[in-house]
Amino acid sequence: MYDENAPRLVAQGYSPLPISPADFKPAKAPVKWVPDANKYVMFAGWNTRSSPCLTPRPGANIGVRCGNGVVAFDFDDEEAALAISEVFDPSPVNKAGQRAWTPFYRADFPVPSEDFFDGRGRKVLQILSDGRQTVIPPSIHPDTNEPYRWTNGRSLYDTPPAELPLLPRDYRERVLALGYVSGQKKPADTINPETGEIENGFDDNPCAELNSVALKNLPSWVPDLGLYNCKRRSGRYPAYDAVASWRPSTTGRPLEQRKRNLGIVGSGIKDFGTGKSYSPIDLVMAVRGGGVGEARCWLEEKLLPKKPEADIDIEKCVEAQGVPLIAPKNGDEQAHDGAPKQEAASGERKYRFRLMSFSELKPGVEPLYLVDELIPLAGIVVAWGKPKCFKSFWVLNLMLHVALGWEYRDRYVRQGTVIYCAFEGAHGYKKRVEALRRHYDIGPETDVPLYVIPGQADLIKEHKQLVKDIADQLSGRKPGVVVLDTLNKSLAGSESKDVDMAAYIRAAEAIRDAFGCVVVIIHHCGWDETRPRGHSSLPGAVDAQIAIVRDGDVVTATVEYMRDGPEDVQETSTAKSVDVGVDHNGKVLTSLVLLPGGESVADASGKHRSGMTDNEVIALKQLAKLCISDPEPIPTEAEQIAGLKGTSLSHWQSRVTRALWSNINEKTRSEMLKLQRGLQRKDRIDTDGEVVWQI
């Protein structure tokens, strides 16, 4: 890795550094290869070396030396990163590792290395300059075992320092103006002169008090953590030894033969196999595999006094707001106090929590999707993407098909009432709806059960009022889908805080449960464009996640995750401008609609192609379905495989036209005939004028 990429850095004007490989401790440290001993040692004096290291460094990761005009902003907190990034020009060179990200800048004045902290003493930003280094892709992160990655399309390998954005001379004032302070290092904080890394304990963690309580009460939580081969030491004070099973053995031993080299005592926690220290929260995260919020909750449950459980009748709370209740699927009313109900006509005893046997657990014929393989029938869905990627246009177009029960790109759609909460850019939705109305030729006589709610909201505080207002205005009807556009404009908190995001998710789930519907949340990406913005609890709580990517006029929606459903499903659209009227000055007003077609990523690689256009693929899929659901015999003179069926030509034409253009007129009839002739020329279909079939 180092030997291949170091010359590329030198060619661009940077100073590469060999970084410790995976089996070397400490991690992320500059190292030097000793051929005679066939091992690495610490690289003393790396920060004063004048020439780059270009001798072989087998297996080493790679870093870059900061200073001499190259400055890196190493963010340690995503919320602070978002706030600070707003006051600086974006950098095209940005790398990401385990948390937050690191943009690179150039400086034409001396910049000292410096740390900034928030009001709670948490370190949020390290400015890396003289005497510091940072690990860069494609190095492997020692904690995640995943490679670092470039996130903004450029890298140090193709961007010389002169092309990096210039760091403004008032950079410190900009950071300080946001309320962050400089130089508040804890006494335990030191800069390791050999590694150039900050070394500190867990005292600047926002959960320092909880960590302190945990160390003083080890028996309350350590035995329940599930540590491998955990054993309490003998003695007056509680202490434990265990195996650090979440990491591989440093000596290559199988798990059952490993020594208990993890020490847990009242003064701290240390893995003597790697030399790494842990706070209690860090240890819980390592063992249980969750995030900070989950670890805090787990520890608090073990350590803090339990509060008496409140006896809350959920249905009475909902009824008090005038919200219609969702009837049980089997039509039987059940007791909600946990007691069994005895009034069944058959005499069979009914239970609130009924056990289902293995033999009963069989899939039925009930629908699973609102839009086949795109939107589940119920749950939480996140549709996310960069700003201006047309994600709201894509969702609105899809919701129109749901409201009218139209097939969407050859996908079954279950008709349902749509509530679209336009929390962001509500002023533009009149034009967007008018564009859809004109494109699909929807007349005033057509009842379209799609309703837009304009304005912002605090969903955490106001979700109950939102449910009540929707229920009152729909007069007892239940929506099939509620769209929240966007998360940012309906959250009066921080997207990066686990507490705020968890409360937002609970509010969205309350809407889902009140109506038995699916809730679609439209969301942005962060500085790291490879994932949705904010705390990781959001992706973990959703039933589906859809990424929206735009390339010019082409918009590709990809199902990244679907609970109990297919992933990597793609729908590609092309944006088309539609005139929607004129303003008071006579200027033409326009908006966009998204039409089927365009080159998606999958298309560009040649998959799903076979030399046909997207519309031709859709037409063949419609034909295959109709040949099963509405078959017609093929003429005897047609030389085809015995038993092959066709379908009505006019029925197929109507179905394809509706799927591609949604209405039938002279223009779409002409387009349909062109499509049909194209398939005939490619020997994909044949027809006698009455029946059509695949060849």
Buried b (16+ CB within 10 A) or exposed e, 290-325: bebbbbbebbeebeeeeeeeeeeeeeeebeeeebbe
Q: Which domain does 403 fall in, by range?
A: 369-604
| Statement to judge: residues 121 and 151 lie in one domain | yes
Give the largest Cα separation in the chain, rounded. 96
Q: Give me the mean pLDDT over the 116-120 stretch.
A: 77
Q: What is the DSSP code (8-state) at residue 568?
A: S
253: domain CATH number is: 3.90.580
Q: How far is CA 530 from CA 101, 542, 548, in A?
A: 12, 17, 11
- Integer Cα distance of 686 and 670 in angstroms: 18
* Cα–Cα nearest to 504, from 518, 486, 517: 486
Does 328 or 97 have the greater pLDDT score?
97
Does 89 or 289 have the greater pLDDT score?
89
Predicted confidence band of residue 35 (pLDDT cuts 50, 70, 90)? confident
Does 160 or 76 have the greater pLDDT score?
160
Instruction: Tell me the per-residue pLDDT of 394-414, one tens digit each, with 9 for 90 and over.
Output: 999 999 999 998 889 888 899
Buried b (16+ CB within 10 A) or exposed e, 478-493: ebbbbbbbbbebbbee
Is residue 338 a part of any domain in this protein?
no
Does 324 or 233 have the greater pLDDT score?
233
State the pLDDT at residue 601. 37
| Statement to judge: residues 538 and 576 lie in one domain | yes
Instruction: Tell me the per-residue pLDDT of 500-524, one tens digit each, with 9 for 90 and over.
Output: 888 999 999 999 999 999 999 999 9
Q: Other CB atoms closer than 10 Å to residue 109's CB: what's the count?
A: 9
- Integer Cα distance of 44 and 77 in angstroms: 30
State the pLDDT at residue 191. 43
State the pLDDT at residue 270. 86
- Integer Cα distance of 271 and 280 in angstroms: 13
Is residue 178 a part of any domain in this protein?
yes
Domain stops at, among 171, 196, 221 = 196
Q: What is the DSSP code (8-state) at residue 631?
A: -
Question: What global pTM score does this model have?
Answer: 0.45
Please check the confidence at residue 449 and state whether its pLDDT lies above 60. Answer: yes
| Statement to judge: residues 222 and 184 lie in one domain | no
Is residue 313 a part of any domain in this protein?
no
Q: Give me the mean pLDDT over the 6-34 stretch.
A: 87
| Statement to judge: residues 587 and 491 lie in one domain | yes
| Statement to judge: residues 569 and 502 lie in one domain | yes
Q: Give me the mean pLDDT over the 471-495 stretch.
A: 90
Domain stops at, among 169, 196, 223 = 196
| Statement to judge: residues 468 and 583 lie in one domain | yes
Q: Give me the mean pLDDT over the 576-603 stretch.
A: 79
Interacting residues of 393 by C-beta distance below 8 A, sequence separation 6+: 432, 555, 575, 592, 593, 594
| Statement to judge: residues 141 and 274 lie in one domain | no
State the pLDDT at residue 122. 77
Q: Give me the mean pLDDT over the 483-495 stretch.
A: 89
Predicted confidence band of residue 347 (pLDDT cuts 50, 70, 90)? low
State the pLDDT at residue 190. 45
Which residue type, as a one-letter code, is found at position 312?
Answer: I
Domain stops at, among 139, 169, 196 = 196
Please check the confidence at residue 16 and state whether its pLDDT lies above 90. Answer: yes
| Statement to judge: residues 529 and 618 lie in one domain | no
Reduced to 3 states (helix: H, G, I; strand: E, B; else coil), residue 596 is strand
- Integer Cα distance of 240 and 222 in angstroms: 8
State the pLDDT at residue 118. 77
Predicted confidence band of residue 612 (pLDDT cuts 50, 70, 90)? low
Please check the confidence at residue 592 and state whether its pLDDT lies above 50. Answer: yes
Report the domain count for the chain. Answer: 4
| Statement to judge: residues 72 and 213 lie in one domain | no
Q: Give me the mean pLDDT over the 555-572 stretch.
A: 88
Is residue 320 a part of any domain in this protein?
no
Q: Give me the mean pLDDT over the 375-385 stretch.
A: 94
Is residue 315 a part of any domain in this protein?
no
Q: What is the DSSP code (8-state) at residue 224?
A: G
Among 497-501, 524-528, 602-606, top mean pLDDT goes to 497-501
| Segment among 78-87, 157-166, 402-411, 468-477 with least mean pLDDT | 78-87
What percentage of the chain reaches a pLDDT higher than 90?
30
State the pLDDT at residue 251. 82
Q: Give me the mean pLDDT over the 103-126 stretch.
A: 87
385: domain CATH number is: 3.40.50.300
Mean of pLDDT over the chain: 81
Instruction: Tell me the per-residue pLDDT of 619-677, one tens digit each, with 9 for 90 and over.
Output: 887 887 787 778 888 876 665 544 567 889 888 888 888 778 766 677 778 888 888 88
State the pLDDT at residue 607. 33
| Statement to judge: residues 588 and 493 lie in one domain | yes
Instruction: Supply φ then ψ for residue 572, to 5 degrees.
Output: -115, 135
Is residue 364 a part of any domain in this protein?
no
Does 453 or 199 have the greater pLDDT score?
453
Which residue type, as a one-letter code, is found at position 380?
Answer: I
Is residue 323 a part of any domain in this protein?
no
504: left (phi over 0), alpha (psi -120 to 50) or beta: alpha
Predicted confidence band of residue 419 (pLDDT cuts 50, 70, 90)? very high
Predicted confidence band of residue 472 (pLDDT cuts 50, 70, 90)? very high
Please check the confidence at residue 86 and state whether its pLDDT lies above 90. Answer: no
Does 541 or 206 have the greater pLDDT score?
541
Q: Judge contact between 19 and 139, C-beta under 8 A.
A: yes
Pairing of strands 114-117, 450-454: unpaired
Please check the confidence at residue 450 and state whether its pLDDT lies above 70. Answer: yes
Predicted confidence band of residue 448 (pLDDT cuts 50, 70, 90)? very high
Predicted confidence band of residue 591 (pLDDT cuts 50, 70, 90)? very high
| Statement to judge: residues 124 and 243 lie in one domain | no
Interacting residues of 663 by C-beta distance below 8 A, sequence separation 6+: 440, 441, 657
Is residue 157 a part of any domain in this protein?
yes
| Segment among 40-49, 272-281, 362-371 with least mean pLDDT | 362-371
| Statement to judge: residues 48 and 192 lie in one domain | yes
